[in-house]
Amino acid sequence: MQGLRGIISFEGIEGSGKTTQARLLAGYLRDRGYDVLETAEPGGTRIGEKIRRLLLEPQNHMEPLAELLLYYSSRAQLVKEVIEPAIRRGTVVITDRFTDSTVAYQGYARGIDLRIINTLNEIVVPGIRPSLTFLLDIDVKEGLRRNRHARKEDRFELEAVEFHNRVRRGFLDIAGREPERVKVIDASRTPAEVGLEIRKIMEGLSWRSGR
């Protein structure tokens, strides 16, 4: 992991364990002397947290385009206020979701033209992308079962199973197009087993900056 820097993102459907694994990897890197910043989308800033509540509250029914633009509003604030300064300091940024989630959820699942999403990426996050992405892949019904067990319920949890299947297909399509960046991890195993595979991948990679 010599020269480690840039952005590491964790992606996956609901209940895949992204938050747990992002936290475990951050601790692992700190133990090895790296300066690590953890963040998540939507959110990560005062404004972003307010947008997060709007996006996730179950009673808020919104048009797909309104949803998309709220995500990019949160992301614009996060990038300028948090991510860019951290990268300039040489800090490793670990984020629970980033632009791939927008492609999967708002593109593949909501049906928004991917050209619109790509254009917004160029405007909001020009030149900024993860150097490494861990896609935690799990069966949709198992992921939703995990979240119900954890009593997690938000606007996306209430979507139909087919919506989440489209999200999963979107993530797997992204991984198929970018296998060097996106590492698909079987998330049906225990957190310890998943974390061990992630650490092995980290140790075997030559790091490339995400800028």
Does residue 1 sit within a domain? no
Does residue 149 sit within a domain? yes
Does residue 211 sit within a domain? no
Contact 5, 130 (CB under 8 A): no
Does residue 109 sit within a domain? yes
Does residue 181 sit within a domain? yes
Does residue 209 sit within a domain? no
**Which residue's entry shows tokens 């614009």?**
76
pLDDT at residue 208 is higher than 60: no
> What's the pLDDT tens digit per position in 39-94?
999 999 999 999 999 998 888 889 999 999 999 999 999 999 999 999 999 999 99
pLDDT at residue 209 is higher than 50: no
Which residues 6+ apart lie within 8 Å of 125 measured at CB? Answer: 75, 79, 99
Interior/surface letters 4-21, b for 16+ CB within 10 angstroms, e for the rest: bbbbbbbbbbbbbbbebb
pLDDT at residue 101 is higher than 50: yes
Strand segments, DSSP code E, in 13-109 are 36-40, 92-96
Question: Residue 40, SS3?
Answer: strand
pLDDT at residue 204 is higher than 90: no
Does residue 137 sit within a domain? yes
Query: In the prediction, which pLDDT does 99 show?
Result: 97
Q: Which domain holds residue 11?
A: 6-204
Query: What residues are paired with 6 via a beta bridge?
Result: 92
pLDDT at residue 10 is higher than 70: yes
Q: The whole model's pTM is what?
A: 0.91
Of the ranges 107-116, 131-140, 158-167, which one carries the lowest mean pLDDT score?
A: 158-167
CATH (domain of 10): 3.40.50.300
Query: In the prediction, which pLDDT does 195 show?
Result: 97
Tally of structural domains, the chain: 1
Strand arrangement, sheet containing 92-96:
36-40, 92-96, 6-12, 132-137, 182-186
pLDDT at residue 153 is higher than 90: no
Does residue 210 sit within a domain? no
Sign of CA dihedral 37, 38, 41, 47: negative
Query: In the prediction, which pLDDT does 206 show?
Result: 58
